[in-house]
Amino acid sequence: MIDLREYGLDEDNRQARAKRLAVAIAAAWKATAHEAGDQLGSVLRDYKRGVVITQATSNMVIVTLQGIVPNLLEQGQPPHDMRDYLLRTVRVGASPIRRTKDGRPYRFIMFRRKVAEIRRMGMKGAYDEAKSLEATMSGSEGRLLYGSRMPSGRAKHYISRGGVRSVSDALSGMVKLVGVTTAEGAQRGGTNTTYATWRTVSYKRPEAWQHSGRPALNLAHQVIDNINQIAEDAGL
């Protein structure tokens, strides 16, 4: 948040200059995110889309970061149990939270696997085997007609920083989705072929689904530290 009066702007020009400053701040923030692309990874696009001008008046400019995941990376996270939110809130389009007979919550989480991930996580020949899987396709009422699945033993088990070993290896049970419209496919205006696994989130194993935490990126602070130069470059 910036008070334009700190820059000595006269009242007549504040509104126009406020908009120009807001655009400059948003551009600088997105450029800073682009430079931190290795740290943002696959979230980079959503992070940049989340940089939004929410106010540009004669007295005030506010540029915010929207989106849960972008803000988790921006602000950082302490070590935590991911089930505290995975089994309490569900975003639109995600799998529902179910209950066991004795009332304990659980749900299935889908993990899409890119070709590069399959090659990296899998044993020799894992991707060739993935390509040869019998296709899983959409059936009536949106239900999936499952083809064959990747057997166990084709990839390493995931071991968290805390030393917890996953129950299944990274590619166990993976399917090849063909002609199934995904969120990404819908954005591109079509269907695609992709690979996916599902894992069950529950409280069955106390040591499972523990996140080791991550340091804050604080990209906004970098922009704030350079705000005078941004304002100068914007002609203020």
pLDDT at 56: 86
Beta strands 157-159 and 210-211, pairing class: unpaired
Whether residues 187 and 96 share a domain: the answer is: yes
Whether residues 54 and 69 share a domain: the answer is: yes
Whether residues 167 and 128 share a domain: the answer is: yes
Side chain identity at residue 10, one-letter code: D
Question: In the predicted model, what is the mean pLDDT of the chain?
Answer: 85
pLDDT over threshold 90, residue 210: no
Whether residues 9 and 121 share a domain: the answer is: no
Q: Supply the pTM of this predicted model.
A: 0.63
Side chain identity at residue 144, one-letter code: L
pLDDT at 162: 61
How many domains would you assign to the chain?
2
Whether residues 206 and 91 share a domain: the answer is: yes
pLDDT at 23: 94
Whether residues 56 and 92 share a domain: the answer is: no
pLDDT over threshold 60, residue 137: yes
Query: Is 230 in a helix, a strand, or coil?
Result: helix
pLDDT at 69: 86
Whether residues 69 and 149 share a domain: the answer is: no
Is residue 155 within 8 Å of residue 166, measured between CB atoms? no
How many percent of the chain have pLDDT more than 90? Answer: 46
Whether residues 137 and 190 share a domain: the answer is: yes
Whether residues 157 and 228 share a domain: the answer is: no
Query: Is 203 in a helix, a strand, or coil?
Result: coil
Whether residues 31 and 112 share a domain: the answer is: no
pLDDT over threshold 60, residue 183: no
CB contact burial 146-170 (16+ within 10 A = b; e otherwise):
eeebbeeebbeeeeeeeebeeeebb
Query: Is 54 in a helix, a strand, or coil?
Result: strand
Whether residues 117 and 54 share a domain: the answer is: no
Domain encompassing residue 180: 81-211
Whether residues 205 and 122 share a domain: the answer is: yes
pLDDT over threshold 90, residue 15: no
232: exposed, middle or buried (C-beta count within 10 Å: 0-12, 13-18, 19+)?
Answer: exposed
pLDDT over threshold 60, residue 2: no
